Structure 1
Amino acid sequence: MGSGIPNKQEKLSFGIEMEFFVAWRAETFTGTVPTPPGFESKTGEPLVVKGNWATEGDRVSALAHMIDEAFPSCAATVAPSEGEIPDYRTESWYHLLPFRHHWDVSVDSSLNRLPVELRDKTGPDFGWVGAEIASPALWATDEGFEEVRRMCEFLQTNLLTFTAPEAGFHVHVGGGNEWLSLSSLRQIAAFLYSADMVLAQSHPEHRYNNAWCPSPRLYSNLSVGIKHLPNQAQPAPPDERLAYADSMGLAKNSSQDPVGPAKPPRENQDPAKHRFSPRPTVSNLKIQTHALERVLSYLGSDLEEIPDPRTYLPTPMMTAVAELLRSPDRRSIARLMNIGQRKGAYSFIQLEREYKRTIEFRQAASMVDPVGVVAYARIAVGLCQFAITASHEDFFKIILDCKISERHPSWYDVYDLLEDVGLYPEAKVVQAVLSDTMTDDMRREYWLSRGHAPRP
């Protein structure tokens, strides 16, 4: 695809956070740790905790020690391309100090209560514990994704892990030690806002109808009525005026739905199109009154007029896109994309802070399978890359397809979107994950498609 956006050479970085439960036993325990159904064929073993094991911290510390020994450093960690040693005392690097070399292992407070499947499978010297493993900041290169694959394979080989609806998988995307440019942040925010309800189709329902990663399209400050104040809003800089003008024009001329009720789905119009089955046919996101009321209670006097939850409709998509594309600074983008003062499915809240400079993708379900983890990480990076580098024509074509899909879900779905942005191998992984049809042959095909060497 061509590019009409000047910042197309920005180098992206990423990091992942995996939340899951891990089986453990005290060194003196000689019995068998009970496991939930489906673990009979696993190759790993319970984590052995030497010394103290009384608290969650003791058990997770044993996991941290195990990870530190197996992964002392990573060649793909964000560092100067010239091979220089970064000075973490400087403004350009200090925010990466906690993410500079090692995988970090910590207690996850959201997992301190065991899921029902594990509550009768624990005792004083054995059981299950929730943990989060976070990668260092990695360049979005094959080497970076290979490091993630290596960690997942290590976990699968050496441990017994359990994923549950309470746990999630997060991907942070940034620009290495630099802030992403304002132009890039605007484009990414506008693209994710538009695609939100389509992208939700790549996750199980418990991940898009919950309080941890709510929809920005339905519940963000922008959707419920927050806008830039007149003295805040600034026109886009000269290089971005075309994008802003396009969005304003589309906002004014997109009131009529170009899809008639008898219009066939897009996939039927292209005989060469890969057939993903099953395809979504109805909208998978519905406004939940209690969730909306919670958001409105956060905003208080910030709203000129408080919407009635019974008749609420979010801000029209193209109006919201135009608002994002004229954001005067990164904090304004965060304010519009936040859910009250909380994070949404795509969190820009870090843009208001100095200790992180990333956009966080929060909606994916907990997973440890290397293919799934790498594919969803590549999706997060690929969506940002497309938003930054796409031509105006390609950028707004997808946004308009997403707009149409809000009323006609069969017109454009997540598989269409992933194919359009160059993520066809990942689309096939998503379909296999959601339908629970992943096979070893599919795993091998995916690794080959992305230049990773298949494991024997």
Structure 2
Amino acid sequence: MLNVEDIREHRLALYDGWEVKIDSSIKPPGQSEYHWCPVEITSPAEVASDESFLAITYVVNLLTSKYRMNVNPSCGLHVHVGQGADFLELGALRRVAGLLWVADPLLGCLHPPSKRFCYYSQSLRERTRLARGITAADFETHMIPDETCGRYIGREVRHGEESVHWREMNIDKKTVIDFQVNRLSGHFKPFVRKGDEKIDEDGTTSQDTEARSEGESSEESLPAVILADDDISQAIEGYYARHTTETGDNNAADSSATHSLDTVYRRCVDRNTARIPLPSYTAEDEARLRVVAAYGCDTMPPLEPKAQTDPGVFFGIGEIFACRSSCVLCWVLRCSDRWSDRPNYNFAAYDCLRLTEPKSNPRTIEFREAAGTTSGKWAETWARICVGLVDWAEHAPVDEYLAVLSRCDEAAKGGKHDVVDLLDQIGLFAEAIIVEKWLQSDGARH
């Protein structure tokens, strides 16, 4: 039986170096006198550091200087972001999914329009189950009562609890049942397996914690970090209350709950170009772009139907934060029941089967919408953006997180906020400058 470190090493063993391999999904350009070789180039799994990002530029530039290379619409640049060999816990996953849901239309401006109409990079905001109004409740009605993915491994990690990885290593029936009892209504304390004794920072043990007075306020005994997601949910409810008031309902909105949504955005990076409006496409545009997206993809299935109307930023955020396990979140952000479906931000690593397989890999969120490129600098920049989005979403203060949601909501309604502003607002200043120049040179169209 593998121990903990052996399993972690096994998960990363396939990603310990640069690798070149044949990829039959890539098709050569037509009418060419050359004999092309369709290849996929993968990097090792690396810690997010300047050295790791610079290596991307170096390798791409090295390849383009030594070989004749071509990228066409069947080529893509995929970036995987994760937490080493381990799963992200549910709280972090919700925050990342929420940010990608609201920012999807803005981030799409960085990529060729055809990518949003490709089966292998379908829009999170337009083609997923959530985009079509299917919610977490629709999944949970079909969940098997003793399903360990949704009832145990994929549940939130409370302050003071062991990690998701610990749950994978401790999946005996008694531990799972004890955990489920701990998650019943009215239970707020962290789960500690009976027989284990944890020493808290104040010197008390888990047994001392269990002996506390039942009359003690549950919220008072919880650190603020646990309540962070609840703060987001309350602010979203406040947003709906305010919106109802503005449209004529007499029910007053809770101004304290909506305050954080009204944070004034002050730009840090000077703009040299006008803001970029979100693109809109006619039926003829979509038909043309689908032909481009299907270039070389002989067996590409039809896209799932597009959502008739945009469900909006806060509908999606509300449902994402209502997901009670990682596999439920993965399910609502899938495009269809086909195993091979691919949204542009892919959470497939968190589905039921992979959550219950300790050796499963990669344990990442996959960014799929970017086009293939021979520009080492752009490949590096996009990788930095992907990592920056995940890192910011996971660690941003609640007020700042909500302010970004609000600005993206304004952009979806025709406001002036664009992708350069988004990168500036989340602290990716260098990337914002590069992206502005990239868009100015029409880089996203190539």
Shorter-chain TM-score range: 0.5 to 0.7
Paired with 1:88 and 1:109, the residues of 2 have a C-alpha distance of 36
SS of residue in 1 equivalent to 2:37: strand
Q: Which has the higher contact order (CA 8 A, sep 6+)?
A: 2
**1:107 corresponds to:** 22
**2:402 corresponds to:** 396
Instruction: Answer whether contact 1:156 1:368 (CA < 8 A) is retained.
Output: yes
> 1:161 pairs with 69, 81, 102, which one?
69
Instruction: Answer whether contact 2:267 2:421 (CA < 8 A) is retained.
Output: no
1:359–1:286 distance in 2 versus 1, CA, 3 Å: farther
Give the helix-richer structure, 1 or 2.
2
**1:4 corresponds to:** none
**2:234 corresponds to:** 245
Paired with 1:273 and 1:289, the residues of 2 have a C-alpha distance of 34
- Matches of residues 90-101 of structure 1 in structure 2 within 5 Å? 90-99=6-15, 101=16
Paired with 2:78 and 2:139, the residues of 1 have a C-alpha distance of 36
Paired with 1:426 and 1:257, the residues of 2 have a C-alpha distance of 37
**1:180 corresponds to:** 88
Paired with 1:230 and 1:221, the residues of 2 have a C-alpha distance of 10
**2:365 corresponds to:** 359
- Matches of residues 7-46 of structure 1 in structure 2 within 5 Å? none
**1:374 corresponds to:** 380
Instruction: Answer whether contact 2:278 2:411 (CA < 8 A) is retained.
Output: no
Paired with 2:117 and 2:234, the residues of 1 have a C-alpha distance of 34
Structure 1 unaligned segments of length 5 or more: list them: 1-85, 259-268, 297-308, 439-456
SS of residue in 1 equivalent to 2:39: strand
Residue-by-residue CA offset, 1:292-315 (whole Å, 9 max, x unaligned): 98425xxxxxxxxxxxx7x92243
Paired with 2:282 and 2:127, the residues of 1 have a C-alpha distance of 11
**2:344 corresponds to:** 345
Instruction: Answer whether contact 1:168 1:365 (CA < 8 A) is retained.
Output: yes
Structure 1 residue 358, shift from structure 2 partner: 0.2
1:282–1:387 distance in 2 versus 1, CA, 3 Å: closer
Paired with 1:135 and 1:256, the residues of 2 have a C-alpha distance of 52
**2:198 corresponds to:** none
1:109–1:431 distance in 2 versus 1, CA, 3 Å: farther
1:94–1:272 distance in 2 versus 1, CA, 3 Å: closer
1:178–1:428 distance in 2 versus 1, CA, 3 Å: same
Structure 1 residue 331, shift from structure 2 partner: 0.9
Instruction: Answer whether contact 2:119 2:303 (CA < 8 A) is retained.
Output: no
Paired with 1:128 and 1:257, the residues of 2 have a C-alpha distance of 60
Identical columns (%): 24
Instruction: Answer whether contact 1:418 1:426 (CA < 8 A) is retained.
Output: yes
Structure 2 unaligned segments of length 5 or more: list them: 142-150, 159-225, 248-264, 291-300, 355-359
Instruction: Return the TM-score normalized by structure 2.
Output: 0.65
Paired with 2:270 and 2:14, the residues of 1 have a C-alpha distance of 43
Structure 1 residue 89, shift from structure 2 partner: 7.9
What amino acid sits opposite 2:419 in the alignment? V
1:150–1:284 distance in 2 versus 1, CA, 3 Å: same
Paired with 2:130 and 2:9, the residues of 1 have a C-alpha distance of 32
Structure 1 residue 276, shift from structure 2 partner: 4.0
1:272–1:373 distance in 2 versus 1, CA, 3 Å: closer
Residue 214 in 1 paired to residue 203 in 2?
no
Residue-by-residue CA offset, 1:103-140 (whole Å, 9 max, x unaligned): 121112221x3123xx3222xxxx32221101111111
Instruction: Return the TM-score normalized by structure 1.
Output: 0.63
Residue 204 in 1 paired to residue 119 in 2?
no
1:399–1:120 distance in 2 versus 1, CA, 3 Å: same
1:282–1:151 distance in 2 versus 1, CA, 3 Å: closer
1:336–1:148 distance in 2 versus 1, CA, 3 Å: same
**1:10 corresponds to:** none
Residue-by-residue CA offset, 1:415-450 (whole Å, 9 max, x unaligned): 000111111211222233334389xxxxxxxxxxxx
1:87–1:364 distance in 2 versus 1, CA, 3 Å: farther
1:294–1:373 distance in 2 versus 1, CA, 3 Å: closer
Q: What is the CA RMSD across the aligned residues, in angstroms?
A: 3.2
Residue 120 in 1 paired to residue 32 in 2?
yes
Which stretch of structure 1 is more off in the superposition, 321-330 or 242-251? 242-251
**2:304 corresponds to:** 295
Paired with 2:110 and 2:428, the residues of 1 have a C-alpha distance of 13
**2:168 corresponds to:** none
1:385–1:336 distance in 2 versus 1, CA, 3 Å: same
Instruction: Answer whether contact 1:153 1:370 (CA < 8 A) is retained.
Output: yes
Residue-by-residue CA offset, 1:173-192 (whole Å, 9 max, x unaligned): 00001111111101000110
